[in-house]
Chain A
Amino acid sequence: GDSVTQMEGPVTLSEEAFLTINCTYTATGYPSLFWYVQYPGEGLQLLLKATKADDKGSNKGFEATYRKETTSFHLEKGSVQVSDSAVYFCALSEAGRRALTFGSGTRLQVQP
């Protein structure tokens, strides 16, 4: 079945550092790929998405590129802020299905 693998956290960075959170996936078809962010005590918010190979999703300075050849969708940001501290989830949905398959999440802690 489908699966999503993320790097384990926590990831601890200083403010203005470069961020990469790795995400790889296994799927039988051509899924859509997503990054969600969860702040403490809240639900998940969609951060960005990509629906086909080589698409780049971007939002709030975050970017991720759908790499079919490496089955990856790594999240990057050039300069993190303390307010980016949260848990980040990579997810996929198979074509024809609305259910999302999530990775286990990566906690990001940004220190001033």
Chain B
Amino acid sequence: NAGVMQNPRHLVRRRGQEARLRCSPMKGHSHVYWYRQLPEEGLKFMVYLQKENIIDESGMPKERFSAEFPKEGPSILRIQQVVRGDSAAYFCASSPDTKDGYTFGSGTRLTVV
């Protein structure tokens, strides 16, 4: 039973490029969450999605960031026109319908050069 799968593990982008981060939830999990971890800091909530719906995006920056969780396929976190300050580890988590049982992926480490 594979866990939460994130890819790529490492991503390097030049300033102004787009970054696409993918997250495949655990089998049977229909809820996906994205968090960002800056160096030496805790994780900050970004967005919570169910299939085809954004439920809570209170932590998403207003510009350049978007997320989706289509009916088929992985959840995607998209960052347009990346800047150096976007360099961070981005973690995805998933859960079943019950609130308990958050499972995190191993993260995507984005470096903007």
Contact = CB atoms under 8 A, between A and B. Distances in A.
B58 A99 contact: yes
Interface in A59-112: 89, 91, 93, 97-105
Contacts of A36: 104
A42 B31 contact: no
Contact of B105 (A43, A97, A101): A43
Contact of A43 (B40, B45, B48, B91): B91
B104 A43 contact: yes
Contact of B42 (A32, A93, A98, A104): A104
B107 interface: yes
* Interface SS, A side: strand
**Residue among B4, B48, B102 facing the most chain A CB atoms (10 A cut-off):** B102
A103 B42 contact: yes
A17 interface: no
Contacts of B44: 102
Interface residues of A, number: 22
B106 interface: yes
Given A43-B91, A44-B43, A44-B91, A98 B99 contact: yes
Contacts of B102: 46, 100
Interface in B56-113: 56, 58-59, 91, 93, 95, 99-100, 102-107
27 contacts: A4-B42, A36-B104, A42-B106, A42-B107, A43-B104, A43-B107, A44-B91, A44-B93, A44-B104, A45-B104, A49-B100, A89-B43, A93-B99, A98-B31, A98-B33, A98-B99, A99-B33, A99-B45, A99-B48, A99-B56, A100-B35, A100-B45, A102-B35, A102-B42, A103-B42, A104-B40, A104-B41
Q: Which 3 A-B pairs have the closest CB atoms?
A: A102-B42, A43-B104, A99-B45
Interface of A: 4, 32, 36, 41-46, 49, 89, 91, 93, 97-105
